[in-house]
Structure 1
Amino acid sequence: MRNSKPLLPAAMLMLLALMLPVFAFAQPAPERVEPPFWWAGMYHSELQVMVYGKDIGLTRLELDHPGVVVKEVVAVESPNYLFVYLDLSEAQPGTIRMNFRSGRRVLFSYDFELRQREEGSRYRQGFDASDAMYLLMPDRFANGDLTNDDMPGMLEKADRSNPDGRHGGDIQGIINHLDYISDLGFTALWINPLLENNQPRYSYHGYATTDYYKIDPRFGTNEDFRRLVQEAEGKGLKIIKDMIFNHSGHYHWWMKDLPTSDWLNQWPEFTRTTYRMTTLVDPYAAYSDSKRMVDGWFDTNMPDLNQRNRLLATYLIQNSVWWIEFAALKGIRMDTQPYSDKYFMSYWGRYVLDEYPNFNIVGEAWMGIPAMISYFQGGKMNHDGYDSNIPSVFDFSLYDEIGRAFQEDHGWASGMMRLYNSLAMDFLYPNPYNLVIFGDNHDTDRFFTRVGEDLSNQKMALTFLLTTRGIPQIYSGTELLKAAYEHDGHGPMRSNFPGGWPGDPVNAFTREGRSPQQNEIFDHIRSLLHYRKDNPVLHYGWLKHFVPENNVYVYFRFNDNQRIMVLMNNNPEPVQLELSKYTEGWEGAREAVEVLTGKRHTAFDQWIIPAKTAEVFELK
């Protein structure tokens, strides 16, 4: 027995010797492959696949799949990346086996899925002037799944007591209340970013991406997001995805191992953007000013991405296409459009619209002057030949004027003249009817605050927003008269929707949970939205307006089949309006019916317009 004991170690040594070649050459599969899969039959046939793993850049790639051609394999400064360019023009759906070799030995293999593209996907219809957009911040809207409030590996935990912390809203919460949004009369839903933001603080807002291919697990999963899009579409709602290409979060996984030294716009020391977007349109701008505007960082925790890097540019472009195709999106809202390299943005816009000709994109160019905003709307013949190829932008000029007009007396450039003068600048835009118009959003004072927390002002402003040209966007909570100033912090501007959390003392999703004033504005919005939805004249109809007199603004929307007349009295007392001034707008009509009250006029002579009131008449 004593002599038999050494036999066991000897056997183990022999076994280890046999296994040694396996251990010497075996490596784990890549840590990341992005995009995770793709589709056959896309308009653009070239695909970049980014493969990340230990020393993967030192391997040699081989693959054999019918119709797939390897065009280029790019190894970069970090040995842990390979960028593979494939030609898929003749590719059929199936599994592409990627073999990564060292010499003659296959170190590991990866199966990349090429899916069948959904029929008709290329011609999906994007949002347009027939739509009205509801904006919500998912963390603050509704908590439909309490189990994902805190998730393993996520740095920030839920804390509803912290106005700047995570509160637990999620995708399921949105799904649970799609009927509420649809019943209000909205046809499109812009959701603030849902991608992973694994940042230690302020992660709730979503604007510091840490994974471009993954929904934040505290919101749900990629499949949950796709289910949201499908269920929303079933209720007549188009989903618009918020995207950010200017910057990522500083906890993005690649920050620990950048592919190249120029992946980010880097400076000798931290350099913040100047936020001076004028330097991009100014014909006399100094290069150093425009460079700092574009290449400076938006914030210390938001590294500025260098879209002039070919590999990164392709990565970002494909990411947007992947989400459109995967989730069946109907639109994109591009955050901080002018802060990215403008030529990259132009190429991106053209690429997306070539892939989806009927799609729509709205860019955020937060400037108050129409001549500057219009520079960033696609189709503009700019002084320097630049075309952004982004079909829509937010009308920040009209936004500015809406906030002032309803609190002012009549003057040469005040009161209702603000609205008139802003719209008179529409000749600067290639397509003013495709502008997104709004009274507030998640970054501004609340709409009700901007109109002096006056119910009559709010109703007038909303009537204007829902009957003038453009695509109206309303921020969640406007229907509840939410009030907050931006200078008091972002928390109050982005407060929770009452009733979105179990145990909330008030449920504003129900009529019983809203105050009489809230129900009054809710009903006003709902009635106008449903009327707008059913009457194309308010989508694409021409606009004719008259110079305001005595703080009374009159305008018409008309097409070959229908005419709408809007009368806005911004005075604190009723006015007697002489209709003969506006004959060219109503001539030939026999009757005018107010769309909210049913009030009728058959004589177009002198009408009494109540104080602080906007009336919308259908002419017959």
Structure 2
Amino acid sequence: MTRWLIGFCLLVSLPSFADIQLQRVEPANWWVGMQSQRLQIMLYGEQVSDYEPSLHYPGVTLVNTERVDSPNYLFLTLELAKEVKPGLVSIQLRQGDNIALVHKYPLLARDNASAGRPGFSAKDSIYLITPDRFANGNPDNDSLSALEDKLNRTAPGGRHGGDLQGIINHLDYIQAMGFTQIWLNPVLENAMPSYSYHGYAATDFYRVDPRYGSNALYQQLAQQANARGIGVIIDVVLNHIGSQHWWMQDLPSSDWLNFSGQFVATTHRREALHDPYATDWDKRHFSDGWFVETMPDLNQRNPLLATYLIQNSIWWVEYAGLSGIRIDTYSYSEPEFLSQYTARLMAEYPNLNMVGEEWTLNPSIVAYWQRDTQRHDGYQSQLPSLFDFPLQAALVSGLTSQENWNSGLREIYLSLANDYLYGRPQDLVVMPDNHDMSRIFTQLQGDPQLWRMAMVFFATVRGIPQFFYGTEILLANPDSDDHGEIRADFPGGWPADKQNAFTGEHLSPDAKMAQNFMRQLLNWRKNAVAVHQGRFVHYAPLEGTYHYFRLSEKQNLMVVLNKNDQPVKLDLQRMRETLTEFSTATEVLSGKSTALADISVPARTASIFELN
């Protein structure tokens, strides 16, 4: 129904008698029953600002018309009454008495459960996929004549042909592995001449890149994933666009981009936003600076652009039925805009989850952006979650450094001890790695035992775990930190692949072991209520071991990390205050039950015990 109405809308927008043609109407449709009663529509067509708009539809009022520097844009603000019904809103464009165009704008019925949709939470395990590198489900869209960047699977930075159909084809694998959410790196059109596969230089905010599929196929992916109990998280870029974005040929206004559209590099000094001694120059050159010349930086202080970006995120959540949003380069956008963005999204979807990327190892800066954090300046944020980069770095260093008074496992303990800074530490997303850093197996020096310890840690520590595709089969980048190598093709995603991780064919024994381990761990985690909602309690590391607990009314767990080259026994006296109610424990992955006094944790392992 949605696709039919949009198609009909475009058809009647271009009548034979028209004096004007609309090239774009964004968003192309909206829904009745949204929390906000205001809707901004951007009309784009040659000299469209020369026309006077009017509309006719019960319950819909045109409250504002705004013209900008370019005569080819017209921004309309509509107010939708709460009782407005679905249908086609007639928007007329006139010159004097002449009706130059009648555009039928679709207002669609909203799913009754849409506003209350559940977001991802600590119950979930997130699978991060770079779509171009996962599986090629449709070779016919690998190279398209209208898009310059063609298939080149031999180039690390080239397009390799993975697509949405490839992900759909392997949803059963994702489900069987125990993942309950998938986060895709951006899938919007990236009509850049090269290095376009990563998706972070959008050229159209309302169109899936046709080399991945279509809007309808993205919607189908979400529907099929949801049918398997898997949510879909969209990767949103608010800070910048690609230099080939269609706006760049005709910017709406001179302040649409930062630094008047001229390249000025960001300093990346996010500390300036919090520094009590910082200058305005440092603040501006962090927030307004561009990443690279091919990524023009958006000025969200422009209210029309701010509303456009907010509505775009709402549109994709509603259209595709999404469970969450990952927000790229979070703090680089205008802070007041981010406050407005998070408030609006959470008002529309109170249970939705959003996670921001603030890549710093300073936990106070990460915490600043999370809702319910006590801030020094009264800043308002409704952002539920952020990635816990400080904990990721602490885990890697903690497992690979020698044990002494200030290094080793103590680094993990100290990172978690900083949780008092966060408004909701239990809502942070924790991860062994992601698409922008070396693979966790590489970071852990190719050591399978340390890898298993890391997987147990991230599956049981407080927060929401995210794992990068291929982690489950020990994908690594030992010889290069090039992002194209890190985002390697998933074995078996292409017909000619010699190895197939989906079936296990020709995988190495270590890779099969890792895959089986992850499958068992994550499927156990699905029902581990203590991990989902239990209190986190830990003891300071001692002599190469680290003990922590997840405690709840229905289940109680003890996790022990042992870095030593020999087994260790529990120090029951030291942990008496936590263990006093229990006498036996069952190691959850082996099923072996033991009296607490007899527990011996094997060398260089992480063990999970259910306490009884």
The TM-score normalised by the length of structure 1 is 0.94
Maintained 8 Å contact 1:191/1:242:
yes
Q: Contact 1:52–1:82 (CA<8 Å) still a contact in 2?
A: yes
The CA deviation string for residues 532-584 of structure 1, in whole angstroms up to 9 with x for no partner, is 11111101100110011011001110111211011111112223332222122
**Residue equivalent to 1:65:** 57
Contact kept? 1:30, 1:52, Cα under 8 Å: yes
Match in the other structure for 1:290:
283
Residue pair 1:579, 1:607 contacting (<8 A) in 2 also:
no
Instruction: Say whether residues 1:51 and 2:40 are aligned partners.
Output: no
C-alpha contact 1:35 1:322 (8 A) present in aligned 2: yes
Q: CA separation in 1, counterparts of 2:176 and 2:210?
A: 29
Report the residue type matching 1:76 in the other structure.
Answer: V
Contact in 2 for aligned 1:578/1:607 (Cα 8 Å):
no
Structure 1 residue ranges, 4+ long, deviating more than 6 angstroms after superposition:
none
User: Any idea what the Cα deviations from partners look like across 1:177-199, whole Å, max 9, x if unmatched?
Assistant: 11111111111111100000000
1:131 corresponds to which residue? 124
Residues of 1 paired with 2:211 and 2:28: CA distance?
A: 21
- For residues 147-188 of structure 1, give each alpha carbon's deviation from its aligned partner in whole angstroms, at most 9, with x where no partner exists: 111123112111101110111100000000111111111111
1:485/1:506 Cα in 2 relative to 1: closer, same or farther (>3 Å)? Answer: closer
Q: Which moved more, 1:503-512 or 1:264-273?
A: 264-273
Give 1:269 shift: 5.0
Alpha-carbon distance in structure 2 between the residues aligned to 1:190 and 1:607: 39
Distance 1:120 1:24, change over 3 A: closer
Deviations 1:9-51 (A, max 9, x none): xxxxxxxxxxxxxx99843430000000111111101000000
Residue 267 of structure 1 and its aligned partner are, at CA, apart by 5.2
Equivalent in the alignment of 2:341: 348
Structure 1 residue 214, shift from structure 2 partner = 0.5
Among 96, 100, 103, the alignment partner of 1:107 is 100
Classify 1:24/1:523 alpha carbon distance in 2 versus 1 (closer, same or farther; 3 Å): closer
Q: Does the 8 Å CA contact 1:555/1:567 hold for their aligned counterparts?
A: yes
Which one-letter code corresponds to 2:418 in the other structure? M
Q: State the distance in 2 between where 1:378 and 1:513 align.
A: 47
User: Is residue 200 of structure 2 the alignment partner of residue 218 of structure 1?
Assistant: no
Task: Give the distance between the partners of 1:150 and 1:138, measured in 2 at CA.
Answer: 15
Question: In the alignment, does 2:529 pair up with 1:536?
Answer: yes
Inter-partner Cα distance in structure 1 for 2:156 and 2:271? 33
Tell me, in whole angstroms, the C-alpha distance in 2 between the residues paired with 1:268 and 1:233: 41
The one of 285, 306, 311 aligned to 1:313: 306
Calculate percent identity across the aligned residue pairs: 46
Partner of 2:603: 611
Matches of 1:114 and 1:464, distance apart in 2: 47
Aligned to 1:394: 387
The CA deviation at 1:597 is: 1.2
- The more displaced of 523-532 and 307-316 is 523-532
* Corresponding residue for residue 187 of structure 2: 194
Q: Which residue of 2 aligns with 1:80?
A: 72
Residue 73 (structure 1) shift: 0.5
Cα pair 1:57 1:82 within 8 Å, conserved: yes
Q: Secondary structure at the match of 2:400?
A: coil
2:117 and 2:349 in contact (8 A); partners too: yes
Task: Give the partner amino acid of 1:288.
Answer: W
Amino acid at match of 1:607: I
Question: Does 2:417 correspond to 1:424?
Answer: yes
How far apart are 1:487 and its partner, in Å? 5.9
2:526 paired with 1:547:
no
Within 2, Cα distance between the matches of 1:319 and 1:274? 28
Distance 2:555 2:345 in 1: 35
Letter of the 2:256 partner, please give it.
W
SS in 1 for 2:291: coil
Deviation of 1:303 (Å): 0.3
Structure 1: which amino acid aligns with 2:328?
A: D
1:243 to 236, 239, 245: 236
Q: Residue 445 of structure 1: which of 438, 443, 449 is its match?
A: 438
Deviates more, 1:265-274 or 1:61-70: 265-274
Q: Distance in 2 between matches of 1:72 and 1:439?
A: 49
State the distance in 1 between where 2:551 and 2:276 align. Answer: 39
| CA distance in 1: counterparts of 2:158 and 2:320, whole angstroms | 28
Distance in structure 2 (CA, Å) of the matches to 1:482 and 1:504: 15
- Aligned partner of 2:8 in structure 1 is none
2:26 counterpart (18, 34, 46): 34
Aligned equivalent of 2:4? none
1:206 has 2:206 as partner: no
Deviations 1:284-317 (A, max 9, x none): 2111001000000011100000000000000000
Structure-2 separation of matches of 1:560 and 1:488: 45
Q: CA deviation at 1:268?
A: 8.4
Measured on the aligned residues, the alpha-carbon RMSD in Å equals 1.5
Aligned to 2:90: 97
Partner SS state of residue 318, structure 1: helix
Q: Distance in 1 between matches of 2:395 and 2:514?
A: 17
Q: What's the CA shift for 1:503?
A: 1.2
Aligned partners of 1:324 and 1:220: how far apart in 2? 18
Look up the equivalent residue of 2:600 and give its one-letter code: I
Check whether the contact 1:486–1:493 (CA below 8 A) recurs between aligned residues: no
Q: 1:320, 1:335 → 2: CA distance?
A: 13
Counterpart AA for 1:318: Q
Tell me, in whole angstroms, the C-alpha distance in 1 between the residues paired with 2:112 and 2:405: 56
**C-alpha distance in structure 2 between counterparts of 1:412 and 1:24, whole Å:** 80
Q: 1:24 to 1:347 in 2, by over 3 A?
A: closer
Deviation larger for 370-379 or 329-338? 370-379
Q: Find the aligned partners of 2:480 and 2:252 in 1 and give their Cα distance.
A: 39
Q: Structure 1 residues 24 and 530, CA, compared in 2 at 3 Å: closer, same or farther? A: closer
Per the alignment, residue 337 of structure 1 pairs with 330
Q: Distance in 1 between matches of 2:261 and 2:181?
A: 44
User: How many Å separate the matches in 2 of 1:137 and 1:223?
Assistant: 19
What is the number of equivalent residue pairs in this alignment? 597
Alignment partner, residue 19 of structure 1:
none
Quote the Cα distance in structure 2 between the aligned partners of 1:597 and 1:314.
53
Distance, in Å, in 2 between the alignment partners of 1:355 and 1:169 is 33
Q: Which residue of 2 aligns with 1:385?
A: 378
Residue matched to 2:5 = none
Q: Does 1:575 align with 2:568?
A: yes
Question: Of 274, 283, 288, which aligns to 2:267?
Answer: 274
The aligned residue for residue 562 of structure 1 is 555
Instruction: State how far apart, in whole Å, the 1-side matches of 2:21 and 2:58 are.
Output: 23
Q: Highest CA radius of gyration, 1 or 2? A: 1
Distance 1:477 1:572 in 2: 28
Q: CA deviation at 1:411?
A: 1.3
The amino acid of 1:504's aligned partner reads: D
Contact 1:409 1:571 (8 Å CA) reproduced: no
Letter in 1 for 2:336: Y
Contact 2:263–2:296, Cα closer than 8 Å, also in 1: no
Look up the SS of the partner of 1:511 in the other structure.
Answer: coil
Answer whether contact 1:377 1:387 (CA < 8 A) is retained: no
- Out of 293, 296, 299, which is 2:292 matched to? 299
Distance 2:261 2:509 in 1: 58
Alignment correspondent of 2:585: 592
* TM-score (ref. length: structure 2): 0.96
Q: Is the 8 A contact 2:356 2:385 kept in 1?
A: yes
1:498 and 1:290 mapped to 2: Cα distance? 44
Secondary structure, counterpart of 2:173 in structure 1: helix
Alpha-carbon distance in structure 2 between the residues aligned to 1:402 and 1:342: 30
Query: Could you give the per-residue CA deviations for residues 74-118 of structure 1, whole angstroms, max 9, x where no partner exists?
Result: 011100000000001242211111111111111122111111111
Letter in 2 for 1:363: G
Q: Deviations over 1:313-344 (max 9, x none)?
A: 00000000000110011000000000000110
User: Using the alignment, how far apart are the partners of 1:485 and 1:380 within structure 2?
Assistant: 39
**Alpha-carbon separation, structure 2, partners of 1:287 and 1:379:** 27
